[in-house]
Amino acid sequence: MATTYLEAIRQGLWEEMERDPGVFLIGEDIAVYGGAFRVTAGFLDHFGARRVIDTPIAESAIVGAAIGAGLMGLRPVAEIQFSDFISCAFDQIVNFAAKCRYRWGAGVPMVIRAPSGGGIHGGPFHSQNPEMAFVHTPGLKVVAPATAYDAKGLIKSAIRDNDPVLFFEHKGLYRKVKEDLPAEDYTVPIGKAAVIREGRDMSLITYGAMVHVGLEAAGQLQREGIDMEIVDLRSLLPLDIDAILASARKTSKVLLLHEDTRTGGLGGEIAALISENVFEYLDGPIVRITAPDTPVPFSPPLEEAFLPNVRMVVEKARWLYRY
Amino acid sequence: MSAAEITTPLRSRDAELAERFWHFMSMMREVEDRIERKLYRQGKIVGGVYVGRGQEAIPVGTALVAEAADVLFPSHRDMAVFLIRGVHPRRIFAQYMGRVGGLTRGRDGNMHMGDLRLNIVSIISAMAACVPVAAGAALALKYKGTRNVAFCYFGDGATSRGDWHEGINMAAVLKLPLVLICNNNQYAYSTPLAQQMACANVADRGPAYGIPAEIVDGNDVFAVHAAAQRAVEHARGGLGPYLIECKTFRMTGHSAHDGAAYVPSHLWEEWGKRDPIARLEQTMMDRGWIEAAQLEELRASLRTEVDEAIVWAENSPYPGARELLDNVYEKR
C-alpha cells in the first residue's frame, strides 16, 4: 500500500524512537491531541508522556529545551506547529544551537520539524517558507523533502545527525503525495540532491512542493519536444553543489524554482554558484521562478497568483528553450 | 543589614567550608582584577571584560553545593564556577587573550565558554536564552532517571527577556529540576533596576509561576550557600524549579570600558562596606578560624599562582587562520 508523505514522517519518527531510547518528541499539542496535522497521533499511548511531551505555547522554550537536552546527549525532535512560528525561536536556533560546536566544541543533536508552505488558504501566518533565514546561518543543516521516500529517509538522518537539523515538511504534500516505501530501514543522506527526472535541454533546480509543479510542467514540455531535467535539492544546507553544477554543465540552461519569495531566496545563491563555477557552459540566462516579494495572502485568487505554478514554469521553459 | 553582619548561624564544621569559600572568592577577585585593571589597560585583552567584583559570594556559595553531575550555566559574572569545577586560571587568561589555551581556542572571548566534560554549558550574549536551555538540560537529567539538577545563573537584566519567562514557566509546568540563581546587581549596563521592572524584587515573580522564590543577601556567602542547599534539596526532590534572588551590587562598570558615571557615588560607598570577601575574612577572624597573617600568606600564594598563569597564557599561541573553517559541523 502506498505511504503518504505524512505517514512517512510518522513512520520515521516511530522507528527512530523504537531504535534509540534517547529520541523524544516535544512541542505544542503533539501528545494528547497528536499534533495539529496528526503526525504524532498515537505516539503518547505507545511511548508514554516521558517521551512525548506537550508544552506551553512557547516556541523559544521548546527549542531551548531541545538544545539543552541535546547537549546532554539526548536526541530531541521539537515540533514547531507551523513554520511561521519559528521566528519566535530565532535566537535559540541561530545564536544558541548553531554556534555551540564552533564556539566551544559542543554538538547539539536536535531536529526541529516545521510544517511549511502555502496552498491551503492558511493566510500570512500559516503558509510561509522561512528556510532562508536558516540557510544563511552556518552551523545549521536545513532539509526540505518533496517525496514520501525522502521524508522518511531524511527524518531518520536528521535524528541521527550530531548537528542541529531544521526539517521543513510541506503541509501541502502531507496527504497529496504517496509511494511504496521499502520495508527495511533506510536513510537519505543530508547534503545530497537527487536528479528525479533526466533531461537534455535544460535543468530545473527546485525543492519541496515545487518539485511536483516542476514534474507536471516537464510532462507538458515533453509533449512539445522540450526535455527538462529536474534536480530535487532535498537538502538546502549544506547544498549539493556538485549536483547543481553537473546538471548545469549537462544541459547548459538553468531554471530555478522555489515557493519562497524572490529576493534573498535560494535561487539567487544557486545562480551565483553556477555563474562562478560553470559560466562558460551556459547557453542562456539563469531564470528564476519564485513567489513575489509579498507576504502570503489569504484569499484564493491572491494566493493562486502568489504561488509559482505549472503555467509559469512552462512559459519560462519555452522562452529559455528558444533563447 | 550592617556591614559585618552574617545572617546564617555558624557551626564549627563551617571553618573548613569558609576556607574553601575564601579560596575561590579570592582567586576570582585576583584573576578579574588582573584582567580588568592590568591586562586590559596594557592592551593584552583583545575584547570586552565583564567582571563580577563584589558578587563573588554568589557563584561560590552556589556552585560548592553542586555535585559533579549537576549541570551549571554560569553567567559572565560567575567566573568562580569555572574555578570550582577545576578550570585553571591560566586557561581563563588565555581565553580572555584569544589564545589557543583558552577553553574556546579563540573562537569566543571572556566568560563565553563551557566544557561538557565538566558539565558547564557556555552562555550566549542574550543571557536569558540560557533559561530554556537549562530547563532542557534539567529535562534530560530527569529523563535519564538521575537525581541531578541544572543551575542557571543570570542577572536582573535577563529577567526582562521573554525567554526567561518562557523557560521558567515551562520548567515549572514540567516540574524540572532547575535551580535559578539571579545575581541582582541592580544595573543592566546603565539601566537601573527601577527602569528594568516595576515590581520590587525578582523573587516576587516566583508565585506567578507557582515556584518557590527566596531573597538572600548575595554578599553573604554563608547565606547564599544555605539558600542553594534549600533550592537543590527542593529540585532533587522532584518538586520542580526554585528561584534564588541574590541581592548584590556590581562594583564595576558594565565592562572595563565603562566608567559607570551613572551610578550615584553613595551606592559605591554603601556597597563597598558590604564587600563579600572582607565580610568573610572578618567572620573567619572573629571566630578564630584564621589570623590576619595567615590570610596574608594565602593571598601571596594566590598572587604567585596568578603570575604564573598569566605567563602561561601569554606564551599560548594565537590560533592560526587555517583553523577558521573547522568545527562548524561535526567532522565526518
State pLDDT tens for residues A5-40.
999 999 999 999 999 999 999 999 999 999 999 999
Pairwise CA distance, residues A192 & A230, whole Å:
14
Pairwise CA distance, residues B57 & A248, whole Å:
64
Residue B6 lies in a domain: no
- Write down the pLDDT at residue B5: 56
Residue numbers in B near A50 (CB within 8 A):
143
For residue A176, with 0-12 CB atoms within 10 Å meaning exposed, 13-18 middle and 19 or more buried, which class applies? middle
Q: Provide the 3-class DSSP secondary structure of residue B218.
A: coil
- Residues A269, A275, A278, A281, CA torsion sign: positive
DSSP A199: -
Pairwise CA distance, residues A12 & A227, whole Å:
35
Cβ distance of B173 and A73 shorter than 8 Å: no
Residue numbers in B near A96 (CB within 8 A):
124, 129, 133
Picking from A96, A110, A134, A157 by the largest number of B CB atoms within 10 A of its own CB, the best residue to mutate is A96
Residue in this structure with the C-alpha cell 563584589, named with its chain if needed: B54
Which stretches of chain A are assigned E, i.e. beta strand? 3-4, 23-27, 52-54, 75-79, 110-116, 141-143, 164-170, 178-179, 194-197, 202-206, 228-232, 235-237, 254-261, 287-291
For residues A113-123, average pLDDT: 96
Residue in this structure with the C-alpha cell 522555489, named with its chain if needed: A258
- What angle, rounded to 10 degrees, do the helices at B292-315 and B276-286 form? 140
Question: Does residue A42 surpass a pLDDT of 80?
Answer: yes
Question: Does residue A84 surpass a pLDDT of 60?
Answer: yes
Residue B114: band (very low, low, confident or very high) from pLDDT cuts 50, 70, 90: very high
Q: DSSP readout, A285-320? A: --EEEEE-SSPPP-SHHHHHHHS--HHHHHHHHHHH
Residues of A designated catalytic: 126
Residue B7 lies in a domain: no
For residues A74-79, average pLDDT: 98
Question: Does residue B146 surpass a pLDDT of 80?
Answer: yes
CATH of residue B277: 3.40.50.970
Nearest to A286 by CA among A204, A212, A226, A206: A204
Residue A1: band (very low, low, confident or very high) from pLDDT cuts 50, 70, 90: confident
Residue B38 lies in a domain: yes
Percentage of chain B beyond pLDDT 70 is 97
Residue B329 lies in a domain: no
Pairwise CA distance, residues B100 & B118, whole Å:
19
Residue B225 lies in a domain: yes
pLDDT in tens, B271-294: 999 999 999 999 999 999 999 999
- Write down the pLDDT at residue B14: 85
For residues A123-147, average pLDDT: 98
Residue B305 lies in a domain: yes
- What amino acid is encoded at A205 in this protein? I
Cβ distance of A106 and B122 shorter than 8 Å: yes
pLDDT in tens, B258-268: 999 999 999 99
Cβ contacts below 8 Å, chain A against chain B, sum to: 137
- What amino acid is encoded at A20 in this protein? D
Query: Does the global pTM surpass 0.90?
Result: yes
For residues A213-240, average pLDDT: 98
Pairwise CA distance, residues B332 & B329, whole Å:
9
The rounded mean pLDDT for chain B is: 95
pLDDT in tens, B10-56: 547 889 999 999 999 999 999 999 999 999 999 999 889 999 999 99
Residue B2 lies in a domain: no
Residue B164 lies in a domain: yes
End-to-end CA distance of chain A: 44
Residue B1: band (very low, low, confident or very high) from pLDDT cuts 50, 70, 90: very low
Residue B50, domain extent: 14-312
User: What domains can be seen in chain A, in order of their start residue?
Assistant: 3-179 (3.40.50.970), 194-322 (3.40.50.920)
Cβ distance of A60 and B163 shorter than 8 Å: yes
Alpha carbon dihedral A167, A168, A172, A176, in 10-degree steps, equals -30
Number of domains chain B is built from: 1
pLDDT in tens, B237-246: 999 999 999 9
Cβ distance of A105 and B327 shorter than 8 Å: yes
The answer to whether A179 touches A130, Cβ cutoff 8 Å, is: no
- Write down the pLDDT at residue A220: 98
| Distance between A208 CA and the closest CA of chain B, angstroms | 24
